[in-house]
Amino acid sequence: MEEETNIATETLAELYLKGENIEKAYEIYQQLLRQNPTSIRYKEKVRELELHLRESGGASASIKPKEGIERAIGELKTWLDRIQHAKKKST
């Protein structure tokens, strides 16, 4: 894995997308998601780009479906914890 830099921004990722460098944009959005694991926008963008890369046979086509399932389960657990916490606060 390459060392992450601090210059990863959504703007940079979007510039890569405009230049049709999907793989680099995907890498940046993954980095942004690691830095902001609760960001729904980054999660959605990573999923969207994963799908695009799988369909196009890009370098990330090797992403295993199991990884996606495990990620989704983790996200659902996070949401469930938030809902339970909010319920406790309201009672």
> For the chain, which residues make up each domain, given as ranges?
10-90
- Please report the pLDDT score of residue 46 as a whole number: 92
Q: Amino acid identity of 33?
A: L
Of the candidates 77, 74, 12, the residue with the CA atom closest to the CA atom of residue 45: 12
> pLDDT tens digit string along 42-88?
999 999 998 888 887 765 444 555 566 676 677 777 888 888 888 88
**Contact between 42 and 33 (Cβ < 8 Å):** yes
Instruction: Supply 67's token pair.
Output: 């990884």
CA–CA gap between residue 7 and residue 28 (Å, rounded): 9
Q: Amino acid identity of 72?
A: A
The reply to whether the predicted model has a pTM over 0.75 is no
Q: Amino acid identity of 29?
A: Y
Instruction: Give every CB contact of residue 28 below 8 A, 6+ residues apart in sequence.
Output: 8, 9, 12, 13, 16
Instruction: Give every CB contact of residue 30 below 8 A, 6+ residues apart in sequence.
Output: 46
